[in-house]
Amino acid sequence: MTGTALNLAKEVVLITGGAQGLGEAMALAYARAGAAVVIADINEAGSLALAARIEGNGGRALGLALDVTDPQSVLGCVDAASRKFGYVSVLVNSAMFARYGPIEEVDAATIDRMLAVGLKGVLLMCQRVVPQMRDRKHGVILNISSVVGLAGVGYSSAYAALKGGADAITRGLAVELGHDGIRVNSIAPSAIPTEMSRRTLDEKGWEERRRRTPLGVIGRVEDVANAAVFLASDAAKFITGAVLPVDGGFAMAAMIPGIDIAAVQRSRGNPA
């Protein structure tokens, strides 16, 4: 892979949910690769602060307020990005709203909000950027899904529904838009330490995830960001409709419950 293939200087990347966590890491990675970055988040102050940080380091950035569930907010966001940089060539759907728990305890309002952000929001954003991508015969859409959409994980049924749905959108749009020069892929991370996930998993939970991960480590936000840069680049120009797990093998291992990977590694004389 050449450095030229990963040069994104001609790309304008719009990241929903871009002000923190995985979105923030991807924004910084895209900026380092030379792209103009639009950070769009319901947290407007966070978007503006991250854009200023990127510009302070010599990059090109724009911070915007965005509610992905509101068609007018979506329209205003994409229009503002296009006025600033001319077009949007890469859309990263990273905005999320997640709650976990036994299925009978997830109330209807929470389900509505999760589906509105994780599915309706993805569709609204795609509807708004696809026409200009078609006009330019070039575009990349990345949906940030989850290993929860690939493997059974308890207390996550509602979350699995929206992430599995995002992967279905990926496959459908990849077929629909391929002739227009638009590639559509998903990235499916395992649990990655962020401010949000640290509130969800305690130390014991993180250790359990590590123990059941074949590579024996917990991933970092940079691992997801690196995959996002790759899939937006010419190095991935023949990849579309794919769901790429960035999980150290967790999803595969989770499909075989009861196997203690760390114990197996120790039995073979390998450090866990």
pLDDT (tens digit, 9 = 90+) per residue, 112-139?
A: 999 999 999 999 999 999 999 999 999 9
Question: Which residue do the tokens 């990127």 mark?
Answer: 54
**Burial 154-164, CB ≥16 within 10 A → b, else e:** eebbbbbbbbb
Identify the band that residue 261 occupies on the pLDDT scale cut at 50, 70 and 90. Answer: very low
| 3-state secondary structure at position 21 | helix
Name which of 1-10, 193-202, 259-268 the model is least confident about.
259-268
Q: Which CATH superfamily is domain 4-202+218-249 in?
A: NAD(P)-binding Rossmann-like Domain (3.40.50.720)
Domain extents for the chain? 4-202+218-249
Name which of 42-46, 152-156, 218-222 the model is least confident about.
152-156
Q: Residue 237, CB half-sphere, CA atoms under 13 Å: how many?
A: 8
Question: Which residue do the tokens 């959108």 mark?
Answer: 169
In this predicted structure, the answer to whether residue 96 has a pLDDT above a threshold of 60 is: yes
77, 121 contact by CB (below 8 A): no
In this predicted structure, the answer to whether residue 270 has a pLDDT above a threshold of 80 is: no
Calpha distance 202→199 (Å, rounded) = 7
Calpha distance 47→224 (Å, rounded) = 19
For 167-242, where are the E strands, in sequence order? Answer: 182-189
Calpha distance 113→98 (Å, rounded) = 9
In this predicted structure, the answer to whether residue 25 has a pLDDT above a threshold of 60 is: yes
* Predicted TM-score (pTM) of this structure: 0.90
| 3-state secondary structure at position 58 | coil
In this predicted structure, the answer to whether residue 3 has a pLDDT above a threshold of 80 is: no
Residues 52-63: pLDDT tens digits?
999 999 999 999
87 tagged catalytic: no
- Please, what is the average pLDDT of the chain? 90
Which residue of the set 30, 87, 100, 159 is catalytic? 159
Question: Which residue do the tokens 């590590």 mark?
Answer: 210
